């Protein structure tokens, strides 16, 4: 039996440190639903750093285009 989408979303956030966008794509829901389901899930410092580093190059690129 496949777990409910919100249960899978919370597992992906807690265990794998996935972003809301990645979670939404993997479980097949909207980003807003994924965000609501995982909003109270704590991330480790390592997971937070990994997410920040993942988005940093995109932020720098956007700033350069301005």
In this prediction, residue 32 carries a pLDDT of 97
* Domain count for the chain: 1
Q: Is the dihedral of CA 29, 32, 65, 47 positive or negative?
A: negative
In this prediction, residue 51 carries a pLDDT of 86
In this prediction, residue 53 carries a pLDDT of 84
- pLDDT tens readout for residues 3-61: 699 999 999 999 999 999 999 999 999 999 999 999 999 998 999 888 888 776 666 65
Residue range(s) defining the domain that contains residue 40: 5-65
- Phi, psi angle pair for 32, to nearest 5°: -65, -40
């Amino acid at each position: 039996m496949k777990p409910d989408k919100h249960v899978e979303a919370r597992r992906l956030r807690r265990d794998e440190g996935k972003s809301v966008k990645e979670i939404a794509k993997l479980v097949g829901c909207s980003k807003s639903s994924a965000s609501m389901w995982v909003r109270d899930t704590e991330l480790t410092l390592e997971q937070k750093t990994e997410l920040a580093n993942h988005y940093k190059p995109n932020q720098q690129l956007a700033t350069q285009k301005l």
